[in-house]
Amino acid sequence: MASECVPLIKTGGLADVAGALPAALAPHGVEMRTLLPGYPPVMQAITRNHQVAEWDDLFGGFARVFRGKLGEQVVYALDAPHLYDRDGGPYIDAQGRDWPDNPERFAALSSAAAMIAADGIEGWAPQVLHCHDWQAGFAPLYLRELGAGDRVASLMTIHNIAFQGITRASMISTLGLPRSGFNEKGYEFWNNISALKAGLVYADKLSTVSPTYASELMTEEFGNGLDGLLRERQEDLVGILNGIDEALWTPPYKTPVGKAKHRAALREELGLPDWPGPVCVLISRLTSQKGLDILLQALPALLDRGGQLALLGTGERELERAFMAYAEAHPGVAVTIGYDEALARRLVAGGDAILVPSRFEPCGLTQLYGLRYGTLPLVALTGGLADTVINASPAGLAAGAATGLQFHPVTAQALAQALMKLVKLYEDRATWTKMMKNAMAAPVSWEHSAADYATLYREMVKAE
């Protein structure tokens, strides 16, 4: 169960994972079916010919489940108009405010998932309930309350621990939670309810989207108040890297030589001058988590040496304004506020390097796109960025294995030094070309990660 899934609804990497996992797991003998909220785009994509479940009152209204398909993938849509049939995003309204009934909306999704897992659906009985992020956090608890926790295993995956689904304690009855669980060892979090904590307490196994992020989550710096719980459950916690769909992300060239015309076309499209340095691209939400504030401070280290920046993203208004002002003042910077999938692909294809200076990054996908396209990632040494990029350290270069650059700590000074190193490496064409070849050969698909998930599921299956 997930709150978003490509190609139907997406706000972040969770949607990519939910959309990719079923097909990636099929070769490993795993039959996965996906439950999604019935947002308007989901209901438009799902034909309503196959109703497979209904409830007279699911958190305030009538609800049904319809069966649909995305290619070969079975998708169940929870059609509850009182919860999901509205304009705006899946979590926020058109003014950017959280929907006030988000606790009920995703408790309903969790409850439906638990009931399907407990009772089966269409004669199909799942052995594992895979829950993604706080929106699915109550499902393992509901599963136990239904008396099915000894038959159906539950896995809770953390995509970003910064979002925990916190709501006030007065909602206990409304959300159908057992009062006995409202304590430090249960779903209580600083006198509030935490949906994510519920999942971390009551699920059989826990996972996150990279091995390094799994380790980071057990520290005060990254654990967002749940590090103690995760340390207690570290034997049940595993980090499995995300992958990308290589069929969807295939570079329009076979070798590094082919990138040149795409770089030239990108410069022409964005009005960037033909300078000698590397074209660095950045595709991101514009937030402090993504390290965009330190990039503003470090940019002279790139621009003063003939490098350029092409940025695509949207986010915090201050950062949007700051980058737009930088672009107006400097010919080596091009900024597009918003999101454009086609432009994102042209940036990855035409860029020489892709910047990911995040303060924390559970896994990250843009660096994987960069590797696939030979667009060398320059990344902070954190989370999945640390696990997927081989640094151009003296040892990495001597071994001929480097695929990008890492920097630490996450400061403007360290990033500036990394950008200076990036320009020097770019000037050494033999070394740069070797790194591009390494990057394009790096494993970024779901192949290995899907095998890891399949193994984990099989370990979790409970005896009949």
Among residues 66, 80, 81, 82, the alpha carbon closest in space to that of 34 is found at 66
Contact indicator for 376, 259 with CB cutoff of 8 Å:
no
Angle made by CA atoms 172, 173, 174, in degrees to the nearest 5: 95
The residue assigned the tokens 């999604």 is 36
| Secondary structure (3-state) at 57 | coil
Which run of H or E residues covers position 337?
strand 333-337
Residue 397 phi/psi, 5° resolution? -70, -40
Q: Residue 288, Cβ neighbours under 10 Å: how many?
A: 14
Return the structure tokens found at 196. Answer: 């994510």
Q: Residue 56, Cβ neighbours under 10 Å: how many?
A: 7
Query: CA 437 to CA 454: how far, in whole Å?
Result: 30
Contact indicator for 406, 385 with CB cutoff of 8 Å:
yes
| Secondary structure (3-state) at 154 | strand
Angle made by CA atoms 369, 373, 375, in degrees to the nearest 5: 85
Query: CA 451 to CA 188: how far, in whole Å?
Result: 35
Q: What residues have CB less than 8 Å from 227, skipping those under 6 apart?
A: 217, 218, 219, 220
Written as one letter, the residue type at 272 is L
**Is 69 within any annotated ligand binding site?**
no
The residue assigned the tokens 């929106």 is 135
352 CA to centre of own chain: 24
Contact indicator for 305, 275 with CB cutoff of 8 Å:
no
Q: What residues have CB less than 8 Å from 437, skipping those under 6 apart?
A: 255, 256, 374
Written as one letter, the residue type at 387 is D
Among residues 318, 354, 350, the alpha carbon closest in space to that of 337 is found at 318
Contact indicator for 16, 6 with CB cutoff of 8 Å:
yes
Among residues 218, 211, 217, 212, the alpha carbon closest in space to that of 238 is found at 211
Give all strands of the β-sheet with 405-407 in edge-to-edge order: 333-337, 308-315, 279-286, 353-356, 376-380, 405-407
Q: Which residues are annotated as a binding site for ADP-alpha-D-glucose?
A: 10
Annotated binding site: 10
